[in-house]
Structure 1
Amino acid sequence: MTLLEVKNLKKYYEISQGLFKPKVVVKAVDNVSFSIKKGETFALVGESGCGKSTTGKTLLRLTGTTSGEILYKGKDLLALSAEKMRSLRAEMQMVFQDPYASLNPKMTIKQILMEPLRVHNKFQPEERLEKILKILEIVGLSKEHLDRHPNEFSGGQRQRIGIARAVILNPDFIVADEPVSALDVSVQSQVINLMLELQKEFGLTYLFISHDLSVVEHMTDRVAVMYLGKIVELVDTEELFANPKHPYTQALISAVPASHPKEVKERIVLKGDVPNPANPPSGCTFHTRCPFAMDICKSVVPALTEIESGHITSCHLYTNNKEEK
C-alpha cells in the first residue's frame, strides 16, 4: 500500500542580486517524483545542497512549494487548508538534524513531550504523564529526566528526546532529516537501532534523509539519489549497492569506507566542484564532473528511465544504448 506519493515536486527560490540586477532562480527541488510504501524506510541521499532536506520539509508543508502534488493516503496536502493540515500533522512528524537546536532550551523534557499531546488534544490530562513516562522508557530514558533541561543531556540523549517527541503522537509517517549526522559514531548506532525498534513496534514509515551511505545501507529499503535538485537514480537499497548505474551514485558508493581491513576498494574521485545551483550546467547537470560525459550530455537533459525492473536512472549511457538496440 502506498502511503505517500510525490508527483513533479518543484521548489524554486528567487535570489536578489541587487537593485538593478534581475533575480536569480535557484531550483532547490526540480521535478522530483517518488512514492513511499507503508512500513518501509525510503532514503534520500546526496551531497550537501542537493535538495534532500528541502524535499523533506516541503512534504510536511514546513516550507511552501512552487508546483507539484503531494498525496498522503490519497489526500492532496497542497490543497488542504491550514486548519485541516494542522490536524493531519499528528500523523506526520519530523526528527530534525541538530539535536542541540531542535529542543527549546527553556523547557523541561516533561514540557517538551507534553506540548504535542496538548496541542493535538491527545489523551486525557491525567493520562498524558503516563504516556510521557512510557515513551521515555522506550527511548532509553527515565522518570528522573523529566524535570531536566536539554542542556543537561548529551547529543545522543537529546536526539532520543527528539525521536520521543515525534513518536509520542503515534504518527504513521516520520521525516528523519540526517538524524545521526551530528552525533558521535559510537552513539549513531544506538540511535539507528532505536529507530528500527520503534518502526517495528509502531509500524512507522520513514523518509530517511542522509549523506552517509553506510547508514543508508544498514537501515533503508529503497534509495533515491539526488544531485542538484533532481533524482538521478532510484532503486532498492540492496540493488543500489550491488549494481549502481549512475556515475554519480558509483562515486558516492566508492567513498564508503571498507568494512573489512582486507577489502580493497577503488575510489572514484570526481573532478571539479558541485556547480552553482543558481547557474547549473546545461543538459545533464552532472556532465561537468562525469568521467563518461558525451556530447549529448552537454545539451540534452536525460529522462528518468527504468533500465531494469525497478531500477530507474537518468543517464545517457543507458538511454543511448536502448535506442541503439
Structure 2
Amino acid sequence: MSEWLEVNDLKTYYPVKKGLFGRTSETIKAVDGVSFAVRKGETFGLVGESGCGKSTTGRSILRLAEPTGGTVLFEGQDIMKLGKEELRRQRRHMQMVFQDPLSSLNPRHTVGKLLEEPLIVHGLGNSSERKRSVREMLEIVGLPAGFASRYPHQFSGGQRQRIGIARALIVRPKLIVADEPVSALDVSIQSQVINLMQDLQRDFGLTYLFISHDLGVVRHISDRVGVMYLGRLVEVADKQDLFSRPLHPYTQALLSAIPNANPDAKRERIVLGGDLPSAAQAPSGCAFHTRCPYAMELCSKVMPRMVERERGHVVACHLDQTGNEAIRC
C-alpha cells in the first residue's frame, strides 16, 4: 500500500487574548508539528489523553479548523492550498464522523433531509435519485428506510451514530476521519458500531483516520497507531508492534492502564506523576520530561525528533529501547 494521505509538520495554534485591548498574551499550540502518513485502505489510529490535540489534528486535516502551518497532501494534492470552491469539491472525498451525533445533527430536520443535504451540496442526482440513495444508505447502516421521516431526538445514541455514519458515507468518500465515534455509546453498542465501520470499510474501500482515547477499541480496529502527547506525535508503529513492544515511556504508561480480562494476571501499572501540562505553556525540550520516570537533563533541553528504531516503528525519545541514553537527536 502506498502513502495516500501525507501530513507534514501540521501546526494549529490558537491565540489567547486578554486585557482591554485584546492583546495576545499566550498561544495554545493544540497541534505542534505533527507528521504522519496514512496508506490507502488502512485504518490509522490516533490515541492520547484528552487535550493532547488528536481531535484538532483530525479537524485540521479537513480544514474544519484552519491550520497555522504545514501541509496535508491527499492523493498528491495539497489541501492547504485549495480555495473555498476547490475545498468544497474535495470534501466530497474527505468526510468526518463526529463524537456526539446528537449535536452534529440539526434537530429541526428529518433524517431524510439530513442525508439528502450532502447530495444537494455536491450536485449528485435528481430529487428521486437522492431520495432513493437516502433509503438505500439507511438500510446499509442497519436502519429501516422508513426512519427517513423521523427526527434525530427520536433515536437512541447508537442509532444516531449510524445516521452520522450514513451522512458521511452517502457521498461515497474515500477518507473518513472518525473522531471518537463510539466513546459516547454503551459498550455493547460500541462493538456493533465498530463492526459496522469495518464492514463498510471492506464494502466501500474506505480509509479511516480513527481518533480515540480507548486503546482497546484502537487495538481492535486499527492497522497502525500514532500516539500523541501535548500536540506532538511521540510514537508510530504497526498495531502489533506498538502493543507488544512500546518504546516510548508515555506509550508504555498508557498500555499499562488497559484493563486485563484475566483477574489472576498480574501487570505492573505505570503511574505518571503530575498533570498534563498546558498547551499554552509547554515544557522545554521533550514535553513529557516533567512526568517521565526516565527523564534526563538532556530531555529538558533538547526536543527529540522522530527516529525509526525498528522497521516501521518510529519514536521521539532520547532513550533507546534498552533504557540507555540514545544518540542525541
**Relative to structure 2, which stretch is displaced further, 18-27 or 271-280?**
18-27
1:57 aligned to which of 59, 77, 101: 59
Structure 1 residues 1-325: aligned runs within 5 Å:
1-19=2-20, 23-318=25-320, 321-323=325-327
**Relative to structure 2, which stretch is displaced further, 18-27 or 141-150?**
18-27
What amino acid sits opposite 1:132 in the alignment? V
CA distance in 2, matches of 1:251, 1:209: 19
Aligned residues: 324
Please report how far the alpha carbon of residue 171 of structure 1 lies from its aligned counterpart in structure 2 after TM superposition.
0.4
CA distance in 1, matches of 2:150, 2:218: 33
What amino acid sits opposite 1:179 in the alignment? P
What amino acid sits opposite 1:14 in the alignment? P
Q: TM-score, normalised by structure 2?
A: 0.96
**Relative to structure 2, which stretch is displaced further, 228-237 or 255-264?**
255-264
Deviations, residues 203-258 of structure 1 (Å, cap 9, x unaligned): 00000000000000000001110000000000001110000010000010111111
Q: What is the SS of the residue equivalent to 1:35?
A: strand
Q: What is the SS of the residue equivalent to 1:137?
A: helix
* Contact kept? 2:136, 2:145, Cα under 8 Å: no
Residue identity (%): 58
CA distance in 1, matches of 2:278, 2:119: 43
Q: What is the SS of the residue equivalent to 2:199?
A: helix
Q: What is the SS of the residue equivalent to 1:287?
A: helix
**Relative to structure 2, which stretch is displaced further, 14-23 or 141-150?**
14-23
Q: Structure 1: where are the runs of 5+ without partners? A: none
Please report how far the alpha carbon of residue 322 of structure 1 lies from its aligned counterpart in structure 2 after TM superposition.
4.5
Deviations, residues 277-317 of structure 1 (Å, cap 9, x unaligned): 11111111101101111111111111111111111001111
Please report how far the alpha carbon of residue 22 of structure 1 lies from its aligned counterpart in structure 2 after TM superposition.
5.0
* Contact kept? 2:318, 2:327, Cα under 8 Å: no
Q: What is the SS of the residue equivalent to 2:211?
A: strand
CA distance in 2, matches of 1:211, 1:285: 19
CA distance in 2, matches of 1:177, 1:299: 34
CA distance in 2, matches of 1:91, 1:206: 12
Q: What is the SS of the residue equivalent to 2:287?
A: coil
Q: What is the SS of the residue equivalent to 2:116?
A: helix
CA distance in 1, matches of 2:63, 2:225: 22
Q: What is the SS of the residue equivalent to 1:283?
A: coil
Q: TM-score, normalised by structure 1?
A: 0.97
What amino acid sits opposite 2:140 in the alignment? I
